[in-house]
Amino acid sequence: MTAPRLATVGVVVHPTKDVDASLTTLREWAAGQDVEVVARQAEVARVPAGVTVLAEADFLARVDAVVSLGGDGTMLGAMRLLIGRPVPVLGVNHGNVGFLVEVSPAELAGALDRLAEHRFVVEPHACIEFEQDGATVMAFNDVVVGADVPGGSVELDLEVEGTRFGYYRCDALVLATPTGSTAYNYAAGGPVISPAADVMALTPVAPMSGVSHSIVLPAGDTVRLHQARADDQALARVDGVATTPFPPGAVATARLRPEAAQVVRIDPDRHAQRSRIKLSLLDLPLRREQLAELLPSDVREDLAHLRGRKVF
């Protein structure tokens, strides 16, 4: 069966970084392929002439794929935007570490060819549905429930599938997806989780009493958090960008929603290798020779030549 033609590509851009070179590459490629490039009205000031600007509802209804120009934060925003209609999202790295984004600006034209020819792999990503006081927000990275003042703490009762699990007393509680497991969850001592696993991690930050270790739960479980202390003023932070109050007596539920977004992987093996290197540089306990094994063979050979000896 022939794959459908790529007719409309949406673009989501970082609010401040210079992504003009990638926008030029995208426009020139699209002109040669008879593909329309569209953006949302909210980004009209960030896109050049030749990009069709649409209302958000029209943008979501029309796009066949989306290109995210920025870092992991921009990519997360694009994924949240498309949760109601998951289409492939290609990330172009204009950021720093970049665990989600795969393609460099120099590789964009070739990646777009692969996208149009359907020569890529879809990496599904789960999100957390976090519901409080009748409002639901989505997090592809994490939800962090913490004190609203520096140095404060929270005390949260935990139930899983209606069964009381105990309580947390800590600086904050991190609810992380596999994608977000390498972020605040990892910094707090939580596990690094494969994107292929449909699980959610709960990790306390600086626990003082109660549950003091990470808990990993499957997608089917519903987590209930209750703000236990009457004088605690807390906040729930969603993917580090959206913040909602979590006042005394507040109750929230959280569950994992599998396959909420489709991330494009042009070269999954290379991306996985790069991610392992980035994690190693973030302090995984690897010796120098083990770190060298993560490098591509041509890079290892160049290093060996420069040092006059093998490094692996």
Query: With 0-12 CB in 10 A as exposed, 13-18 as middle and 19+ as buried, what is 94?
Result: buried
Cβ(144)–Cβ(236) below 8 Å: yes
Distance (Å, rounded) from C-alpha 233 to C-alpha 151?
12
DSSP 51: S
Query: With 0-12 CB in 10 A as exposed, 13-18 as middle and 19+ as buried, what is 92?
Result: buried
Residues annotated within a binding site for NAD(+): 72-73, 141-142, 169, 171, 206
**Secondary structure of 45-109 in the HEC alphabet?**
HHCCCCCEEECHHHHHHHCCEEEEEECHHHHHHHHHHCCCCCCEEEEEECCCCCCCCCECHHHHH
Cβ(120)–Cβ(88) below 8 Å: yes
Residue 298: active-site member: no
Active-site option among 18, 58, 64, 72: 72
Going by C-beta distance under 8 Å and a sequence separation of 6 or more, which residues neighbour residue 151? none
Distance (Å, rounded) from C-alpha 75 to C-alpha 272?
17
Which amino acids are annotated catalytic? 72
